């Protein structure tokens, strides 16, 4: 999906979540765009890869994914392959339970609540209406481990800021 189409399709859902939680709609759309490849990988309106622990409530879906773990004997609903890729690291191709949502807004709001309810993200939550500061605090709290390949330094915030510029450029006038 193009960035323009992504914003046209999901901006009003992000605005609904912003009204409920105070988390900037731009911040919401930015993370959703990055984590779902601009909506191309959001089965069941699941933009952020939220796992479902039980697979029993009807709000889940069994999806193909890859996990890297330090244990060669981890159990999953479906294990396709386990390959050792390091001294103490195994690559799993599996099917696991992920959440599904009735609407994008339901997913966006649950994701916002994730930040609101975890003390690890308290500093980010304080600046939730300012996307750039919010992204910086997420990086400081180690929300993601994205690093710049050239410098080896964390760059999740800068990556989000670049995506946010594209979101803002495509917002309705």
CATH number, residue 164? 1.10.530.10
The distance from CA 47 to its chain's CA centroid, rounded to whole angstroms, is 6
Q: Model confidence over 125-145: pLDDT tens digits? A: 999 999 999 999 999 998 876
Q: Does 115 lie in the same domain as 94?
A: no
Burial of 163 per CB tally in 10 Å (0-12, 13-18, 19+): buried
From CA 133, how far away is CA 161, in angstroms rounded?
Answer: 10
Query: Domain for residue 55, yes or no?
Result: no
Mean pLDDT, the chain, whole residue set: 91
In a domain, 131, yes or no: yes
Residues 6+ apart with CB under 8 A from 78: 62, 94, 95, 96
CA distance 67 to 63: 12
With tokens 């996307």, the residue in question is: 131
- Look at residue 22 in the predicted model and tell me its pLDDT: 98
User: Which pLDDT tens digit goes with each residue over 64-109?
Assistant: 988 888 889 999 999 999 999 878 888 999 999 899 999 999 999 9
Please give the pLDDT value at position 88. Answer: 85
What's the pLDDT at 151? Answer: 67
Question: Is the domain of 122 the same as that of 158?
Answer: yes
Q: Is residue 54 part of a domain?
A: no
Query: Are both 15 and 36 inside the same structural domain?
Result: yes
User: Does residue 11 lie within any of the structural domains?
Assistant: yes
pLDDT band at 148 (very low <50, low <70, confident <90, very high): low
Question: Phi and psi at residue 61, in whole multiples of 5°?
Answer: -145, 140
């Amino acid at each position: 999906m193009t960035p323009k189409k992504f914003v046209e399709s999901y901006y009003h859902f992000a605005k609904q979540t912003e009204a409920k939680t105070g988390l900037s709609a731009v911040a919401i759309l930015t993370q959703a765009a990055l984590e779902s490849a601009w909506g191309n990988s959001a089965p069941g309106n699941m933009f952020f890869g939220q796992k479902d622990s039980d697979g029993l409530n009807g709000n889940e879906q069994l999806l193909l994914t890859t996990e890297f773990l330090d244990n060669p004997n981890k159990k999953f609903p479906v294990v396709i392959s386990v390959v050792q890729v390091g001294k103490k690291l195994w690559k799993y191709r599996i099917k696991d339970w992920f959440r599904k949502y009735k609407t994008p807004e339901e997913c966006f709001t649950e994701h916002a609540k994730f930040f609101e309810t975890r003390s690890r993200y308290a500093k980010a939550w304080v600046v939730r209406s300012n996307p750039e500061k919010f992204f910086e605090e997420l990086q400081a709290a180690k929300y993601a481990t994205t690093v710049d390949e050239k410098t080896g330094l964390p760059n999740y915030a800068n990556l989000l800021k670049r995506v946010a510029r594209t979101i803002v450029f495509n917002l309705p006038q």
